[in-house]
Structure 1
Amino acid sequence: MEKLYTLNIVTENNIGLLNHVTIVFTRRHLNIRSITASESKIKDIYTYTIVVKTTEELIGKVAKQLEKLVGVYKVFVYEDHELIHQELALYKLPISAIKSGINIEEIVREHNARILDIETEYILIEKTGHKEDTQKLLKALQPFGVLQFIRSGRVAMAKPMKSLDE
């Protein structure tokens, strides 16, 4: 049975390594749903966080194949219940949304979001949460004419600490 898996891939900071990592998924016909690259607390060590929907058997094979790549130190595989994860979303609305008579600030507060910027032509809103939460706010803002919407990839930390030695 397919389910969502999050991989935290600990790597060196090498040019082209992310390309080699994504090729492993492409060759196995796996669609990457989310990808984030970030520095770690250790100098020149990076973490790629990749979300895919697949089977337990296939994700195990992918993890082993990734660990064979030069520059990859360790691959950790998690299911959602083993993680604390968030995504960041930005919504750009026309300034007319404020003048619509409906209190846009109330909608923003109801969704635990915040107004980042108000300009002469638009208002910019930020929401941090799970994908479902950011999607709910998008749906609530649709009647105001969302000009632009963008969501980051997942950032995640494991609930049980794992080390590179495991």
Structure 2
Amino acid sequence: MKNEWFTISVYSENNVGLLNRISGIFLKRHINIESLNVSKSEIDHVSKFTIVVNTTEKWVHNIVGQIEKQIEVIKAFYHTDDETIYQESALFKIASNLLFDERQIQNIIKESNSQIVTVSREFFVLAKSGRRFEIDEMYEQLKPFGIMQFVRSGRISVTKDEMQITSLLKEFQHN
């Protein structure tokens, strides 16, 4: 089996220590977490972990099974990139003089569909949302001009197909 990108969605109660235990599952198997995001989910009082890994389907299947054994975990799923709609966000802090002195910076901003978030005398900040490769591409374009600071978010994603979690929770609540 070959490695591919998987997005793991974990629905859980919001309890202290769960993130540590989940990351331990990956650590034991020497699988790197490429991206991690934890947020509120579409269900009241339920958190959603979005974890991106590059591994085989066999390994991701085993990992999801281990994650579901955690007492606070309600349900975990995994999906390929083709089965999800996903985005990342990034902020780039750049010296302000470049905005006015380097025409290429203005072209990069326009062509990348990024936004200027703030401008001061010393710096300006660009925000870019998109796929990982789009943010990487913008980073490589801006790098020769000097990036003062850079940060990117973890992946956020939704599945193309309906998630079974809502109906599972409704059944659980009625029992």
**Common fold, TM-score beyond 0.5?**
yes
2:31 counterpart letter in structure 1: L
1:118 counterpart letter in structure 2: V
3-state SS of 1:162 partner? coil
3-state SS of 2:27 partner? helix
Cross-structure match for 2:47: 46
Q: Could you tell which deviates more after superposition, 28-37 or 102-111?
A: 102-111
% identical equivalent positions: 34
RMSD between aligned alpha carbons? Answer: 1.3
Counterpart CA distance in 1 for 2:46 and 2:98 is: 44
Does 1:116 pair with 2:130? no
Counterpart CA distance in 1 for 2:140 and 2:3 is: 27
How many residues are paired up? 166
Counterpart CA distance in 1 for 2:142 and 2:125 is: 12
Shift of 1:105: 2.8
Does 1:147 pair with 2:148? yes
1:150 counterpart letter in structure 2: V
Residue deviations 1:99-118 (CA, integer Å, cap 9, x gap):
32415333201001111100
Cross-structure match for 1:74: 75
Which residues of structure 2 form unaligned runs of 5+? 170-175
Runs of 4+ in 1 over 3 A off after TM superposition: none
Does 1:15 pair with 2:8? no
Cross-structure match for 1:136: 137
Q: TM-score if structure 1 supplies the norm length?
A: 0.96
Residue deviations 1:16-42 (CA, integer Å, cap 9, x gap):
111111111111111000000000122
